Structure 1
Amino acid sequence: MTTFFFDGQAYDAKKGESVLDTIVRSGNPINYSCKKGACKTCLVQHVGGQLPVGAQRGLSVRLKTHKYLCACQCAPVEGLKLKAVMAQDLFMGARLLSRVLLTNNTMKLVVKLSEMMDCKPGQYLHIRRFDGLTRSYAIARVLEGNIIELHINRKYNGQFSGWLFNTASIGEKLLVQGPFGQCRYLNDYQQDKLIVIGHGAGIGAALGIVEQALAQGHVGEIYLYHGARNVAELYLNKHCLALMMAHQQLTYTACITGSGAIGSVDARCVQAQPSELAASQHPVKPNNRIFLCGEPAAVVKAQQQVFLAGFNVANIHVLPFEYKDLRVVSRG
């Protein structure tokens, strides 16, 4: 047994348990969701004792500075002291600047943060409204240091997306936490071949990653694919084609995944699954780097396809638009 303290109460951890495992087993309430260190729902604060190695892995500099760590990634050490974090300590203020309908079910949202945030396209934010309801959305663009563009899908019976589409007003006050996620462009990738795939509204983040790479002087080839069910969902088609014309190293392909006719949208529009097409067009090489953004089912399937095709798992970066309902009780 290893004894640690959380909010002044002693907990005895069994061998192999994380801090989160022990607290949950003891029947005490603590917020958590994914238990993988991705959603950052189970953040707690280190106040004493030895800080376990790896407990802050993947956290932003801001969170590390405040001594936050993920309870699900923290292996207890004897005498470790932690305390719960107040929600307001993890969020910063923001307000809604604009809403633009891109398709019947996709909206461009622009929010202004109350503080500067070091975030990149392909990462994601937790956004909370006035009543505490919170959802996670991907960053498509950073227009300025504290002005962020998001592409939002309308969910069937979705409380948060329905509110954004139908009720939220310009100037609406929000709370924002983040950024999270590793599906972003780094300077270390400058010589790599980038294969960037956006499924549905994932094209917003995918295009943002491409534009970030180009802005940072990327040297290698870039291949951008947009997977859409029909032609009407290719809402960034013209922009992507114009970007390709302006940059010789960029190749863009629109992929229709549904059974409807393509028509004469453009010669670069094909009927195919983007991940299958990308895997067939790009022989596996050490410097191939792939980014996958969009709905979870499509991203997970694409991740499996490119991995089985031989891509290095360390070079596969994923941003699935997972439903993250930040709650006390697990989603089973």
Structure 2
Amino acid sequence: MTRFYFDEQSVESIKGETVLDALIRHGHSVTYSCKKGACKTCLVQHVSGYLPTGAQRGLTTQLKSDAYICACLCKPTAGQKLKSIIAQNLFVSAHIHEKQYLSESVVKILVEPTEEFRHSAGQYINLRRFDGLTRSYSITNDPDSKLIELHIRRKYNGQFSDWLFNHASVGESLLIQGPWGDCCYKASYRNDTLILIGTGTGLGPVYGIARDALSQGHKGEIYLYHGARNVADLYHHNKLLKLMLEHRNMTYLACVDHMDEKAVSSTRVEVGDPFEVAMNMHKMDSQTLPDSPQRIFLCGEPSFVTKGQQLIFLNGTPLDRIHALTYDYIDLRLSPREG
């Protein structure tokens, strides 16, 4: 047993537990979600005692200097003192500026913060509504806009996505936190070949990264692949065709699980897995040299992204040239899911 203190109350942890595990087991009301340090919703503040290495992994310099830690990454140490924080202190107020349906299941939400909020396409934010319910969504537009664009798919039994899709209205107040992540375009990539692969609404970030690169005068080639179940799910197909026509260094291809009879003649659409199609089109093998100009971005479901990362790395692509944004569909709740 290791005894530490949370809000001046004694907490005993057992071997192998994190601070978050121990707090949950003792019945403390703590907000948490992924338990991997990604969502940043289990932040607490370090007061005194030994702070283990890794407890602040992924936090901004400001959060680190304010002694915030991720409870899910922190191993308790004897006599360690921690305290809860007021969640609103880490959020910025905002409201829904615009709402547009992109398909039967995808809605575009434009969020306007009340203060400056620097962001890039490919990062993600935590969105919190009036009752405290919070979800993470990826950003699909560049840093020059004061609005934050989100592409959100209505999920089966998804409390937040259903609310945004069916009920939330323009002007609705929200709180936002972040941004997090670095799966985004940088000026140093200017001459690289960008291979952007997104499935479902994973298209949003890669579409935003492509637009960001083009707006900054990207010189290398850009290849964008969108994976979907069918042609109806290609919610930005025409915009991507237009983008390709407007830029000589931009190539777009849609990949679907199956082709509907009515869509047989669709332009730039073929049946196949987007990752496998990209692998066949580009050199992603052991001959790929560390100084290769190729840079790969993967956005979408965990199984797709993990598969892509592993295969590309094992075939010889350096890790620093593989950028990933995984859509872990998790809920941020005050108590664990039943069962």
- TM bin (shorter chain): 0.7 to 0.9
1:1-332 equivalences under 5 Å are 4-11=4-11, 17-77=17-77, 79-142=79-142, 144-261=144-261, 262-266=263-267, 268-284=268-284, 285=288, 286=290, 287=292, 288-307=294-313, 309-331=315-337
What 5-or-longer segments of structure 1 have no aligned partner? none
Letter in 2 for 1:183: C
2:18–2:76: 8 Å Cα contact kept in structure 1?
Answer: yes
Note the alpha carbon deviations across 1:172-220, whole angstroms, 9 max, x for none.
1111112122322234434433211111222111111122223334343
Structure 1 residue identity aligned to 2:334: V
Amino-acid identity (%): 52
Change over 3 Å in CA distance of 1:187–1:143 after alignment to 2: closer
Shift of 1:78: 5.3
Residue aligned with 2:100, SS: strand
Amino acid at match of 2:240: C
Q: Is the 8 A contact 1:276 1:305 kept in 2?
A: no
> RMSD of the TM alignment (CA)?
2.7
Q: Deviations over 1:14-64 (max 9, x none)?
A: 665533344345554433222211111211112334544332221234433
Q: TM-score, normalised by structure 2?
A: 0.86
**Aligned AA (1:153):** R
- Residue 103 of structure 1 aligns to a residue whose secondary structure is coil
Number of aligned pairs?
331
Of the structure 1 ranges 164-173 and 62-71, higher mean CA displacement relative to structure 2 is found in 62-71
Please say if residues 116 and 145 of structure 1, whose CA atoms lie closer than 8 Å, have aligned partners that are also in contact.
no
Length-normalised TM-score, structure 1: 0.88
Distance in 2 of aligned mates of 1:56 and 1:217: 36
Shift of 1:107: 1.0
Deviations 1:223-282 (A, max 9, x none): 11111222222222222223223333322212122243442222x322221100111222
Seen in structure 2, the aligned counterparts of structure 1 residues 64 and 191 have a Cα distance that, compared at 3 Å, is farther
1:138-175 per-residue CA deviation (whole Å, 9 max, x = no partner) reads 11114755310111111223222222222211111111
Bigger drift between 305-314 and 99-108 goes to 305-314
List alignment gaps of at least 5 residues for structure 2: none
Deviation, 1:70, is 0.8
Change (3 A) 1:68 1:217: farther
Shift of 1:124: 1.3
| SS of residue matched to 1:63 | helix
